[in-house]
Amino acid sequence: MERGRCCPMAGFGRLAAPREPGRMAQRDAGTHDHDERPARAVLVFLDGVGIGADAPGNPFAAARMPGIEGLLGGRRPLREHLDGGGRIDGGRAVLVAADATLGVAGLPQSGTGQTTLLTGRNAAAEYGRHFGPWVPTGLREMLGRENLLARARAAGRRPAFANAYPIASIDADPRIFRRPAAPPLAAISAGCLDRDLAELAAGRAVASSITNEQWRRHLGDELAQVTPQEAGRRLAAITAGADVTLFAHYDTDHVGHRGDAASAVAAVEKVDAFLGALADALPPDALLVVASDHGNLEDPSAAHTLNPVPVIAAGPGRMALAERVRSLADVTPAMLWLLGIAADAVDSPGAFINRSDLTS
Ligand SMILES: [Zn+2]
């Protein structure tokens, strides 16, 4: 854990005074596009990915990663590949090693980590400890009100949740949703948990496992398999049709808990192919942000870790985002600022779509 380097304990969820984008653009006028403001953004959440050592057993050292290496100038999310500031400036993309401990003792967990990532609030501190894997009941109202997608909706922008969800099953048995992750809760609050099997089959949604094998386990050949590259292109198309898009992938954490080296390498290579194709297919006005909630997959000897997590940004605004991110709590405020959405935008009471409307 590189606590001294990348984890200032002060200022979680608090941004430095906003820098004036126009001045930054002037400084680099004609040489880079990296200080332009994005018109839209997509956040790809990867569960349980930290930055560990370049050592045997770390799948980020062992896997073939042409997609991420292409973004990061040949480097990888490995501790030894970071510069002195805890970053990788790879030309096409920038990586920041972001603190996931949030100044709270214990191992970071999914429920509070994801809530922090999606709201900019230090959910672990507010809850009193790290908690997971699901979002604790006491944080759900805050998450629903203050998340990235809800802020976008309240500001009159179009949010999208790209994941396919078994919405009809949730409607039939709400207990399926008893222990929810933060991304679908955020989507419900913003009225965009609206992609089911039909959208997945039509290529207008992406399975949380990226490829469709988990759905196919239930449905068989009724649903075609997709490659990670095709899934990346589908997410790019969804991103192009919205203002703020969220996609969540959880297998990286599940595989990390299993501790099987071959599965870990395969999981990294699938994500790499997906991200490479996504970055290539995104419209030029889109900011891509990839972030995790806590370490796990990078260290096969442990469950969750204290390692910092990668926040990778590509496209317009990436350098401004990198300058603002020190911890999980900085990602959503920085994205909102770059998109020109007020960080306190909330819908008026009653403006949220009723949950039953989503599941009918
Ligand atoms: Zn997690």
> In this predicted model, what pLDDT tens digit does every residue of 6-42 receive, in sequence order?
333 333 333 333 334 433 333 343 344 445 899 999 9
259: confidence class by pLDDT, cuts 50, 70, 90: confident
Ligand 1 centroid to Cα of residue 22, in Å, is 37
Ligand 1 centroid to Cα of residue 35, in Å, is 31
179: confidence class by pLDDT, cuts 50, 70, 90: confident
Lowest mean pLDDT among 60-64, 167-171, 224-228, 288-292: 167-171
Q: Are strands 93-98 and 87-89 parallel, antiparallel or unpaired?
A: antiparallel
Domain count, the chain: 1
Residue 360 pLDDT: 27
Ligand 1 centroid to Cα of residue 195, in Å, is 23
More confident residue, 294 or 15: 294
Residue 347 pLDDT: 63
Residue 134 lies in a domain: yes
Helix (H, G, I), strand (E, B) or coil at 283: coil
Residue 4 lies in a domain: no
pLDDT at 132 over 50: yes
Ligand 1 centroid to Cα of residue 294, in Å, is 6
Ligand 1 centroid to Cα of residue 34, in Å, is 30
Average pLDDT of every residue of the chain:
87
342: confidence class by pLDDT, cuts 50, 70, 90: confident
Q: What is the DSSP string of 118-148?
A: HHSS-HHHHHTS---SSPPHHHHHHHHHHSH
Contact 131, 106 (CB under 8 A): no
Ligand 1 centroid to Cα of residue 165, in Å, is 19
- Phi and psi for 81 in degrees, rounded to 5? -90, -5
pLDDT at 47 over 90: yes
Ligand 1 centroid to Cα of residue 310, in Å, is 13
Residue 170 pLDDT: 77
Residue 174 pLDDT: 74
Ligand 1 centroid to Cα of residue 349, in Å, is 31
Residue 223 lies in a domain: yes
Residue 24 pLDDT: 39
Contact 80, 261 (CB under 8 A): no
Residue 169 pLDDT: 79
Ligand 1 centroid to Cα of residue 48, in Å, is 5
Ligand 1 centroid to Cα of residue 66, in Å, is 25
Residue 222 pLDDT: 85
Average confidence (pLDDT) over 315-343: 96
Ligand 1 centroid to Cα of residue 181, in Å, is 9
Q: Which of 214, 129, 140, 212 is nearest to 183 (CA)?
A: 140
Residue 172 lies in a domain: yes
Reported as a single tens digit per residue, the pLDDT across 200-225 is 999 999 999 999 998 998 888 889 99
Residue 221 pLDDT: 83
Residue 114 lies in a domain: yes
Ligand 1 centroid to Cα of residue 47, in Å, is 4
Ligand 1 centroid to Cα of residue 248, in Å, is 11
Tell me the residue ranges of DSSP E strands in 120-266.
159-161, 244-249
Residue 48 lies in a domain: yes
d(CA 39, CA 151): 15
Ligand 1 centroid to Cα of residue 304, in Å, is 8
Lowest mean pLDDT among 40-44, 178-182, 308-312: 178-182
Task: For the chain, give the number of residues.
Answer: 360
Residue 302 pLDDT: 81
Q: 294: domain CATH number?
A: 3.40.720.10
Residue 18 lies in a domain: no
Ligand 1 centroid to Cα of residue 269, in Å, is 19
Residue 298 pLDDT: 97
Range of the domain at 217: 32-344
Reported as a single tens digit per residue, the pLDDT across 56-110 is 999 999 999 999 999 999 999 999 999 999 999 999 999 999 999 999 999 999 9
pTM, 2 dp: 0.87
Residue 77 lies in a domain: yes
Contact 212, 143 (CB under 8 A): no
Ligand 1 centroid to Cα of residue 221, in Å, is 31
